[in-house]
Amino acid sequence: MRVFPEDFMEKYKNFHAGYITIVGKPNVGKSTLLNNLLGEKISIVTHKPQTTRNRILGVKTLPDAQLIFWDTPGYHRGKKELNRAMIEQIKKTLEEIDEVLMISDVTRPFGSDEKELISLLKKTDKPIILALNKIDLIRKDQLLPLIDQYKDILPFKEIVPISALKGSNIWDLEETLKKYLPIQPPLFPEDYLTDIPERFLVAEIIREKIFILTYKEIPYSTAVVVDEFKEEPERNFIFIRATIHVERESQKKIIIGRNGQMLKKIGQYAREEIEALLGVKIYLELWVKVSPNWTDTARAIREFGYYQ
């Protein structure tokens, strides 16, 4: 237990701080919401489901509260070891937090994955807030019946309609979330944003470009590992070498593309974003390697960083 000086406690006597896990089925806008809340991109976003594979920490400090978010993978019960690993990350996070923020997409029907997630959330005694996302895509008269439908599913503390993409009602959501956090001093410095290492962010940016530029099963069969990250401060320069792992030789050919054009495009798009993120010049070297059936191999999943 942390012990604070009396004057420090007086300063923060009405301050709320704690951990909030963001959960939901794939592609409901969890990462988009986190990036919007923080005002910075720390979690990759694509229109394809299951883009997020790891839980991502993001910290938002307000004058009277510190919201510490865990963005978790989309809840999807697949047969592969990678799917099981992602569900375990969600379960683990639920044991470590003060509050749950569930995101639901109002444009998509209530499905089996969401029902399984609801069953999991029924086991927690933590306060649960529901954010109904993408309200900009439905008519106003459709919203109230949806809210009534969800009221019967779980004893949500509050239900907040939002648009993560447009930023609608994000302030209302922040105000709602902080009410249910413990009263205590901040747990991180005021300017702290995330604990994600730069290597991880680089790997995620590369993987995001693969999601955007390729199709079918290719994005879901890829993992990116940064093998070398060499900084040269005097030149304001970083050399990065990364390996894109795929499961089959045919996937490797698609990632490389004709005359190497696809790999070149992935590298170009990733390099531009990494340079903007880190504020230095980047030399990015990409290699593609076949790692057969890695998504169903526990050892490979651990080596590629998907167990924490």
The label of the residue with tokens 């903007």 reads 276
- 6-179 has which fold? Rossmann fold (3.40.50)
Is the predicted pLDDT of residue 203 greater than 80, yes or no?
yes
* Three-class secondary structure of residue 188 per DSSP: coil
Strands 99-105 and 16-23: parallel
Say how far apart CA 204 and CA 225 lie, in whole Å: 9
Is the predicted pLDDT of residue 49 greater than 50, yes or no?
no
Residue ranges of the chain that CATH labels 3.40.50.300: 6-179
Among residues 255, 274, 306, 256, the alpha carbon closest in space to that of 82 is found at 306
The CATH H-level superfamily of 198-303 is K homology (KH) domain (3.30.300.20)
Contact 108, 138 (CB under 8 A): no
The label of the residue with tokens 């093998």 reads 227
Tokens of 91: 């379960």
Q: How confident is the model at residue 53 (pLDDT cuts 50, 70, 90)?
A: very low
pLDDT of residue 70: 85
Is the predicted pLDDT of residue 108 greater than 60, yes or no?
yes
Is the predicted pLDDT of residue 66 greater than 50, yes or no?
yes
Portion of the chain with pLDDT greater than 90, in percent: 39
Residue ranges of the chain that CATH labels 3.30.300.20: 198-303
The string of pLDDT tens digits covering residues 263-281 is 999 999 999 989 988 888 9
Q: Which residue has the higher pLDDT, 110 or 152?
A: 152
Is the predicted pLDDT of residue 182 greater than 70, yes or no?
yes
Tokens of 225: 């590992």
